[in-house]
Amino acid sequence: MTGEGGRGRFAGRTVLVTGSTGMAASAARAIAAEGGAVFAVSRTATHLAELAAGIGAAGGTCAWHAADLRREPDVTRAFAAFDRQRRRLDAVYSVAGISGRRFGDGPLHEATLEGWETVMGTNATSQFLVARAAVQRMLRQEPDANGARGAILLMSSVLADHPAPEFFGTHGYAASKGAIDGLTRSTAATYAAQGIRINAIAPSLIATPMSRRAQDDPRIVGYLRAKQPLAAGPIDTEAVTAVALHLLSDDARMVTGQVVTVDGGWSVSEPGSAPAQ
C-alpha cells in the first residue's frame, strides 16, 4: 500500500466511490493502494465503516458518508460532506445499484410498476444525481496540468445491449442500464471541452453479493461456462477494477463517451455453439 501522497496512478488525488461492497469495495481498495484518497458513499453505514477500516489498516485513506443516492437531498449532503474534507474531486466511480428482481422486476408481461420504479430509481436516477453533482463541482475546479477537471465512470451492464432471456430476463434492469449508456455519451459530448471525461463500464456476471442468486444456481453456472468463456464462470471483481482504474486515471486521458464492456466473452459467445475448427 502506497498511501495518500505516495507513488501510484492516484497519488495526491481523491476519488469518490458509490457503493461499499463487491465492485465498489474492490475499486476503493485498489485506488487507495495506488495512493488515492477514497471517499465512499452508500446506504449501509456498517459496510462503509468496514471498508474504511480495512483500507486504513492497510495504510490507505478512506472517509465515508452514508446516503440514499436515490434522494436528491441525500446526494447534496454527501457532496457537502465531501467538500468539508477534500479540496478537489478528481474522479467519481458510480457503482451502487441493484438487480431489482425481489422488488418485482422481470419479463415485461410479469414486471410490476413498483419493480420498474425501484430499479430505475436506484440504477438510473441515483447515477444521474451523482453525475450531476460531480459535474457541477468539477466545473468549479481549475484544470490540472493536463487540462483536466475530472473523470466520471458510470455503471452500465452488458444486458443493456446483449440480452440473455433464458436466465436474465429483468427488463427494468436492462432499461435502467440502457439509460446510463445514453447519459454517458450525451454528457461526455457536452463536457469534453471543459476537461471532464465521462465513460461507463458494462460488466457481465461478476462474483459479487448482488449476483449471489445466480452464482448458487447450477444451471446458470453451467450457462456461464460457455457464455463467459474467458472466465469459465463468474468474473472476479478485480478484473473489472483493473479496467475501471484505467478509465479513471490519466492513462485514459484521451478516452471519453465510451461504454467499455468487461464480459469475459459474453457479447460474442453463444452457449451450445461448437468451436471453430
Active site residues: 173
Show Cβ contacts of residue 88 under 8 Å, excluding neighbours closer than 6 positions: 13, 14, 141
Cβ burial, residue 153 (10 Å; 0-12/13-18/19+): buried
Q: Which phi and psi (to 5°) does residue 61 adopt? A: -120, 125
The tally of CA atoms less than 13 A away on the side-chain side of residue 254 is: 0
Q: Which phi and psi (to 5°) does residue 169 adopt? A: -90, 55
The alpha helices in 86-211, defined as continuous H runs, are: 113-120, 126-139, 171-191
The candidate with the shortest Cα–Cα distance to 36, out of 142, 151, 199, is 151
Residue matched to cell numbers 477534500 = 86
> Measured between alpha carbons, how far is 177 from 202 in angstroms, rounded to an integer?
9
The candidate with the shortest Cα–Cα distance to 235, out of 55, 33, 22, 20, is 22
Helix 171-191 crosses helix 113-120 at what angle (to 10 degrees)?
Answer: 30
Q: Which phi and psi (to 5°) does residue 101 adopt? A: -60, -45
The tally of CA atoms less than 13 A away on the side-chain side of residue 3 is: 4
The candidate with the shortest Cα–Cα distance to 67, out of 37, 87, 96, is 96
Q: Sort residue 147 into left (φ over 0), alpha (ψ -120 to 50) or beta.
A: left
